[in-house]
Amino acid sequence: MALRKGKQFEWRRKHLLGLRDLSVDEISFILDTAEGFEQISKRAVKKAPALRGKLVVNLFFEDSTRTRNSFILAASRLSADLINFTQKSSSVSKGETLLDTARNLEAMGIDIVVIRHDAGGAPAFLSRSINACVVNAGDGFCEHPTQGLLDVYTIRKIKGTLAGLKIAIVGDIAHSRVARSDMWAMTKLGAEVIFVGPPTLMPTAVDKLPVKVSYSLDEVIEKVDVINMLRIQFERQSSNPFPSVREYSHYFGLTVERMKKAKSDILVMHPGPINRGLEMESEVADGANSVILQQVANGVAVRMAVLFLVNQAAAKT
């Protein structure tokens, strides 16, 4: 076809393991592709035949509602077949290794594995061991690339671009793979990222990351265009990183009072699930600046784009 003769970007990765290694062009290409998928969820027949006859496996070794359902929806809307696999109801609880589980699934003819695992690097390990495409749905404290992508997609959609924006990521940075994927995507697209939280919730060697660090939300709140409030992950904390929940809320919660100091068009984001009243007051979570539910809706379009692209890369090579 005539239009194809010009040089255009070509996506070549059959795995999406993280955003750290992606180029600006690759990230932008995923976001552009996602725009084409967004309308499918809004029309009469909410389905397109792009992955017809392909088998997608959701391999979740950690609890998840949002991400798992979002991938289920994304795969369904592309007409793929789907196997849902959770640790509790599988042979993993009988001692099967990750590799054996994956090889057994591969024997069933899977095309794409969506994996969440509490060990960082598990998706990369899997991608070296099997032939199917691998999509990381969260590994340890490393990355959660589709969350990072849907966050920048949401910001780009509203603000037009990320270049020049100041973005605060607040709270439990140390335990957050979302913060890491966000950081890579946002800084690559030209935004300035500030990690905000108590020193006990900062990752080690944070000074080696391309971010600024602040221990005071009050100092940061007036300056930023976007604020992403992370969930306090009680289930991952072995020690007590702050004296009390009340004290944490007092210093780092996004309250109605604090919002008064923010820019009037600040975007309030949260990867969910929200601890209402802890990192964010309900009035803020449900307020006019909140784009939390748009994040959820955009997540489906972004995941459709990712599933589509990795499968394309596998089909064309």
Residues that bind another protein (CB under 8 A): 1-4, 8-11, 32-33, 35-39, 43-45, 47-50, 54, 78, 305, 308, 311-313, 315-317
Residue 113 near residue 102, CB atoms below 8 Å: yes
d(C-alpha 107, C-alpha 175), whole Å: 35
Identify the residue whose tokens are 């601890």.
275
Nearer to another protein, 89 or 317 (CB): 317
Select 21 or 32, whichever has its Cβ closest to another protein.
Answer: 32
CB of 113 to another protein, least distance (A): 18
CA 166-172-177 angle, to 5 degrees, is 80
Spell out where the chain has E strands: 15-16, 55-60, 81-86, 112-117, 133-139, 166-170, 192-196, 212-214, 226-229, 267-269
Q: Please state the closest distance from residue 308 (CB atom) to another protein, in A.
A: 7
Give the rounded distance of the alpha carbon of 62 from its chain centre.
Answer: 15
Q: Please say which residue, 51 or 232, places its beta carbon nearer to another protein.
A: 51
Question: Smallest gap, in angstroms, from Cβ of residue 48 to another protein?
Answer: 4
Minimal distance in Å, beta carbon 33 to another protein?
A: 5
**CB nearer another protein, residue 42 or residue 94:** 42
- In the complex, least distance from residue 145 CB atom to another protein, rounded to whole angstroms: 19
Q: Which of 40, 221 has the CB closer to another protein?
A: 40
Q: How far is CA 51 from the centre of its chain?
A: 22
